[in-house]
Amino acid sequence: MHLVLVSPTSYAESFPIGLAYLAANLRPADTAEVLDAGALGLDVRQTAERVLAAKPRVVGMSYMTYQAEWCYELSKRLKEAAGNLVIVHGGIHASVLPDDALAHGADCVVIGEGEETLVEALDRVRAGQGFGGIAGLCFKQPGTQDVVTTMPRPLIKDLDKLAPPRWDAFDLKLYHETIHVVPGAALPIMASRGCAFNCSFCSSLWKQKVRYRTLDNVMAELKGDITRHGIRKYHFYDDNLLINLKFTEALCRRILDEGLNIEWCCEARVGDINRNPAVLDLLAEAGCKGIEIGVESLDETVLEKTNKRQTTDDSFQAFEHLRRSGVQPIVLLMTCNIGETIAGHHRQNRGLTRMTGRHSVFWGQYATPFPGSKFHDDAKQDGLVLAERWSDYVTRQMNFVPNSLLNDVPVRNRRWLNPLDRLFCRVALSRAARVTHLPPDIGVSAPTVYPLIDGTRTVRAIADEFVRVRGTPPKTTLQEVVKVIIALAQLGLIGSAAPDGQTKPYGLAWLLGLAFTQLRRYIACIQTAVSRKT
Ligand code: B12
Ligand code: SF4
């Protein structure tokens, strides 16, 4: 039986490793091809045509929340064109909201880990039978609209049983996934599945439990990839590669002993980096070039609300340890999280300046209440949810503003913004515009917001005033006002009327630091250009 596995439109050039695993773990009687519409730049119509041309019996789709509507549209088109096709949805969004998927063209939804469930579902299709009794499925009872959810599928105990991801099903030339610090073709790999924590903003399917592959199994995959594809750069997609330091150490030793000569990046929690910083030297020796660290926030109140179970000091220490060992720290931050305030943003800016040695305004990815997370459950009571449709659920766009920020009352630290202040605000806001998809000139800017700050109006009231006076759309106006407030807070140009809300504007040291950082960057660019020429 032939199966087409579709990866939908995407704005990141990354491999859908879930589909690569599914394609690799079918029965020999079944064949699968992967159609990555994102990598190929196909729209829904073109994707439907390509799927139908392949004449499959079953079509599988894997999607995150922001890709859901695209997959719903594809399912509708496929159903219209070929009513007998069996359409299976899976991945994070469908697993969390299977009813939504079933209402939009899916015949069945695989909830959670998919390799075993898909094989069993295909067996039923082959035998012309229904899906009843297969663990980890959700489907509509044939002939009725009743939705059946079967018992949860136990997690695969022995990950070594799984065949490694089938990269030969992909046109590797289409992917330019950077591993953040080393340019060039890189493949993803996972040595473990799951995470031992339970952060409020995370909607991962495999929280609170970690399963490992054996080192022999991981090494066999790496060697196989090197032989087959000649790729020596890897991105470990594990939620936290340093959670079990004994495992990490042993992995590094094997990479070194067997002379793999690879370069790689991974993700880790700051607490695990601090547990034994000496291990970082071994990681660096084994080719680790960068580690993504979820700093999330440098405001203790915000951190506490995320249940991240780490402190700002943990982040400072981890950053230092990484810097010392030569592994590049890749800092992940969130903006607009529950508990954020004007004074908190100011503190965070000072903390990050201290940590990174860069004098700048820092913008993270916007905190987004993904379905399946505790944040999603709390969002409506703790703030304003701006996301309106599934395609909004991307972190480069402001999807949520916490009440803590909306109800904060900004206070001006200067009478008027001087030309230098305006320049810094523009720099800060253009930086924000780069991480969002709003054009930088869409609404208001710092000099027009500043006069409205009178020490009595809340952030929400300032945005309302703008809408009233200028007649601009409420949502985009609020987004712009919040961005301006954050930039002003970080630069210390505003404080807050709340107790302990005082802040201090940037001073000479800040300016000199900024100039020095810029100078260093220019010199580094010139050095790179010169070394490329020679
Ligand atoms: C690695 C990773 C990335 C990588 C690669 C993403 C990719 N192409 O897969 C990078 C860094 C590029 C990335 C980017 C983003 N990510 Co990300 N990412 C992850 C992470 C850490 C692991 C995902 C993974 O690879 N898992 C391993 C594979 C094997 O599992 P899987 O894909 O879930 O597939 C299994 C099952 O789900 C099932 N299955 C999946 N699909 C199907 C289909 C069928 C037919 C069947 C039968 C079964 C099935 O079977 C598979 C095998 O068991 C998760 C967190 C997590 N722990 O899940 C977040 C996560 C998936 N990312 C998330 C988000 C939001 C994003 C971004 C949208 C963020 C942004 N910038 O806005 C971008 C989008 C990029 C894109 N490609 O479009 C969210 C998704 C939440 C949601 N509901 O949408 C997660 C859950 C993190 C979170 N915040 O909670 N991400
Ligand atoms: S954010 Fe990271 S540490 Fe927190 S639960 Fe998700 S995967 Fe685990």
Residue whose CA is at the smallest distance from ligand 2 atom 7: 239
Other beta carbons within 10 Å of 423: 11
Q: What mean pLDDT do residues 148-172 have?
A: 96
Phi, psi of 437 (to 5 degrees): -105, 15
Distance CA 53, CA 519 (A): 56
User: Ligand 1 centre and the CA of 92: distance in Å?
Assistant: 7
C-alpha distance across the termini of the chain, in Å? 55
Query: Would you state the pLDDT for residue 181?
Result: 83
Which phi and psi (to 5°) does residue 425 adopt? -65, -40
Q: Is 195 in the pocket of ligand 2 (CB under 6 A)?
A: yes
Taking a C-beta distance cutoff of 8 angstroms, is the pair 219, 258 a contact?
yes
Model pLDDT, residue 440: 63
Nearest CA owner, ligand 1 atom 59: 204
pLDDT > 90: percent of the chain: 80
> 3-state DSSP call for residue 215?
helix
The beta-strand segments (E) located in 185-327 are: 187-189, 192-193, 211-212, 233-236, 263-268, 288-296
Query: Does the CB atom of residue 421 touch ligand 2 within 6 A?
Result: no
Average pLDDT over all residues of the chain? 93
pLDDT value of residue 351: 92
> What pLDDT score does 532 carry?
65
For 154-175, b/e burial (b = at least 16 CB within 10 A) is eeeeebeebebbbbebbeeeeb
The pTM assigned to this predicted structure is 0.95
Atom 3 (ligand 2) nearest CA: 197
Tokens of 305: 């609300």
Q: What Rg, from alpha-carbon coordinates, does the chain have? A: 25
Instruction: Write out pLDDT tens, residues 45-77.
Output: 999 999 999 999 999 999 999 999 999 999 999
CA distance 458 to 464: 10
Say if residues 443 and 480 touch (Cβ distance below 8 Å): yes
Q: How high is the pLDDT of residue 85?
A: 97
Q: Is 295 in the pocket of ligand 2 (CB under 6 A)?
A: no
Report whether residue 375 contacts ligand 2, using a CB cutoff of 6 Å.
no
Q: Where in the chain is the domain with CATH 3.40.50.280?
A: 2-154
**What span, in angstroms and rounded, lies between the C-alpha atoms of 207 and 198?**
6
Measured from the Cβ of residue 295, the count of other Cβ atoms closer than 10 Å reads 28
Residues written for the chain = 534
pLDDT-derived band at 144, boundaries 50, 70, 90: confident
Whole-angstrom distance, CA of residue 59 vs CA of residue 517: 52
Give the tokens for residue 344.
């908190």
Calculate how far, in angstroms, residue 348's C-alpha sits from the geometric centre of ligand 2. Answer: 21
Query: Residue 359: helix, strand or coil by DSSP?
Result: coil
pLDDT at 442 over 70: no
Across the range 215-235, mean pLDDT stands at 96
- Cβ–ligand 1 distance for 175 under 6 Å, the answer no
Pinpoint the residues of the chain covered by CATH 3.20.20.70. 157-162+173-335
d(CA 232, CA 289): 13
| Ligand minimally distant from the alpha carbon of residue 268 | 2
Q: Which fold has domain 157-162+173-335?
A: TIM Barrel (3.20.20)
Q: Which residue lies with its CA nearest to atom 6 of ligand 1? A: 14
User: 531 versus 409: which is more confidently predicted?
Assistant: 409
> Tens digits of per-residue pLDDT, 315-345?
999 999 999 999 999 999 999 999 999 999 9
Q: Alpha helix locations (H) across 58-105?
A: 68-81, 92-96, 98-102
**Please, are residues 16 and 166 in contact by the beta-carbon 8 Å criterion?**
no
pLDDT tens digits along 269-279: 999 999 999 99
Quick one: 2-154 is in which CATH superfamily?
Cobalamin-binding domain (3.40.50.280)
